[in-house]
């Protein structure tokens, strides 16, 4: 059944083109998606726009008046596929421009476009993330073509108007939908929406206005950066098509695991095992910190799971002043094998400390089963 285009606009079959235009303008002012976000209104807007498209064209209107439907399949215009609404309102832009001025972005787009951002991962040692460094990075990216200075045309030639779209940058097609036929437009496949073609492309860049090149840039890594952080180098990404402004280059910090230290925020942690005797007698530890060798006093009688802290020996804070701390976690190891002499000495020690009898038979003073063990640790 043919669509009632006159009914959609609320005009009679004898309406003049001026009356049709007025009727459409009146309806469109209420229904245009710029002013009425209601989905139902948008559907209706598509239908009245299709009606106006047909009735404002004398040839299409004649088909309607003869009982046909100029937007029906086989009407000489290829029926498109896909979503009936996916293409949006772009195809009605010229109509809308007539009524609303430049409410819909229109026309061919520029050949010159912003370049893409680029991302590089950079492996850094802990000392480098902590204190900062300067690294030379080799970047494989698009730079402006020197031959054509980004224009994409061979020397002495110019872009020509695209024949497919006549310079408009878009082509229109009619798509079927359950609303009837909907006119849609899409970027011209020949010129990519620019409205122009380059008949004599620059031989250096093939018309793109840019070429791939390898270059080396120097990147300053600030002190205190963390794994996963990105450093933005403005304008160091790819140059855009047609010599457009370059995108940004992001350098993502990847901190390599350290042999000794693990990092939590700006604090550093490490683990040191001490023999039972060293923990009991006290000792000194030599530790390779980020700042060099540090000699650490371990007091006599140091207990397992003691944490020694060196203030401000961690990672410098990225923002503000100061540094994190360095925490040394002490583990105490018990000998697993004793030769005869060692066992004799340990038994002698135990006897001297009154710790030589089985603990369970020596419970005294209400301390219970483990009082002996606890007393031994506490140095009694
Ligand atoms: Zn070129
Ligand atoms: Zn074109």
Can you tell me the distance from the alpha carbon of 51 to that of 45, in angstroms, rounded to the nearest whole number?
Answer: 10
Beta pairing, strands 283-289 & 267-275: unpaired
Dist. CA 64 → ligand 2 center (Å): 31
Q: Which ligand is nearest to the CA of 109?
A: 2
Ligand 1 centroid–CA 143 distance in Å is 10
Distance from residue 199's CA to the centre of ligand 2 (Å): 13
Distance CA 231, CA 301 (A): 48
| Neighbouring C-alpha atoms within 13 Å toward the C-beta of 275 | 8
Question: How far apart, in Å, are the Cα atoms of 152 and each of 160, 167, 197, 207?
Answer: 12, 18, 10, 4
Q: Tens digit of pLDDT for each residue in 305-363? A: 999 999 999 999 998 899 999 999 999 999 999 999 999 999 999 999 998 877 664 44
Ligand 1 midpoint to CA 206 (Å): 6
pLDDT tops 50 at residue 79:
no
Cite the DSSP H helix spans in 135-293: 276-281
Structural tokens at position 7: 């009914």
Whole-model pTM: value is: 0.58
Cα of 213 to ligand 1 centre, how many Å? 13
If DSSP codes are grouped into helix, strand and coil, which group holds residue 276?
A: helix
| Residue 91 CA to ligand 2 centre (angstroms) | 15
Ligand nearest to the CA of 202: 1
Q: 299: Cβ–Cβ under 8 A, 6 or more apart, which residues?
A: 282
Handedness of CA 87, 58, 99, 12 (dihedral sign): negative
Task: Give the distance (Å) from ligand 2 centre to CA of residue 22.
Answer: 33
Residue 87 has pLDDT above 50, yes or no: no
Which one of the ligands is nearest to 239 CA? 1
1: pLDDT confidence band, cut at 50, 70 and 90?
low
The pLDDT value recorded for residue 112 is 86
**pLDDT band of 190, cuts 50, 70, 90:** very high
Per-residue pLDDT averaged across 201-228, rounded?
A: 93
pLDDT tens-place string over residues 168-186: 999 888 877 666 777 778 8
Stated length of the chain: 380
Task: Write out pLDDT tens, residues 118-153.
Answer: 999 999 999 999 999 999 999 998 999 999 999 999
**Residues 251-306: tens digit of each pLDDT:** 999 999 999 999 999 999 999 999 999 999 999 999 999 999 999 999 999 999 99
pLDDT of residue 254: 97
């Amino acid at each position: 059944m043919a669509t009632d285009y006159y009914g959609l606009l609320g005009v009679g079959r004898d309406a003049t083109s001026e009356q049709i235009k007025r009727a459409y303008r009146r309806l469109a002012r209420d229904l245009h998606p710029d002013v009425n976000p209601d989905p139902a209104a948008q559907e209706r807007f598509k239908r009245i726009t299709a009606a106006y498209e047909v009735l404002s064209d004398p040839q299409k209107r004649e088909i309607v008046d003869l009982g046909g439907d100029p937007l029906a399949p086989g009407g000489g215009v290829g029926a498109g596929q896909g979503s009936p609404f996916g293409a949006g309102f772009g195809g009605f832009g010229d109509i809308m421009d007539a009524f609303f001025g430049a409410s819909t972005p229109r026309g061919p787009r520029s050949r010159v476009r912003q370049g893409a951002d680029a991302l590089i991962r950079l492996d850094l040692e802990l000392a480098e993330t902590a204190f900062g460094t300067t690294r030379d990075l080799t970047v494989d990216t698009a730079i402006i073509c020197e031959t054509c200075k980004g224009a994409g045309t061979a020397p002495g030639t110019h872009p020509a108007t695209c024949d497919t779209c006549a310079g408009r940058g878009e082509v229109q097609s009619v798509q079927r939908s359950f609303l009837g036929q909907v006119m849609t437009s899409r970027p011209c496949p020949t010129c990519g929406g620019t409205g122009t073609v380059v008949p004599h492309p620059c031989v250096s860049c093939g018309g793109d206005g840019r070429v791939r090149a390898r270059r080396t840039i120097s990147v300053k890594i600030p002190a205190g950066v963390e794994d996963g952080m990105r450093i933005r180098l403005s304008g160091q990404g790819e140059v855009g098509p047609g010599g457009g402004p370059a995108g940004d280059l992001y350098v993502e910090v990847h901190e390599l695991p350290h042999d000794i230290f693990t990092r939590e925020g700006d604090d550093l942690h490490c683990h040191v095992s001490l023999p039972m005797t060293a923990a009991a007698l006290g000792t000194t530890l030599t530790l390779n910190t980020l700042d060099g060798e540090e000699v650490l006093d371990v007091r006599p009688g140091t207990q397992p799971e003691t944490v020694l802290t060196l203030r401000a020996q961690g990672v410098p804070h990225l923002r503000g002043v100061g540094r994190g701390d360095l925490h040394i976690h002490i583990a105490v190891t018990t000998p697993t094998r004793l030769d005869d002499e060692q066992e004799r000495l340990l038994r002698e020690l135990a006897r001297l400390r009154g710790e030589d009898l089985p603990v369970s038979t020596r419970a005294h003073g209400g301390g219970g089963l483990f009082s002996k063990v606890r007393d031994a640790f506490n140095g009694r």
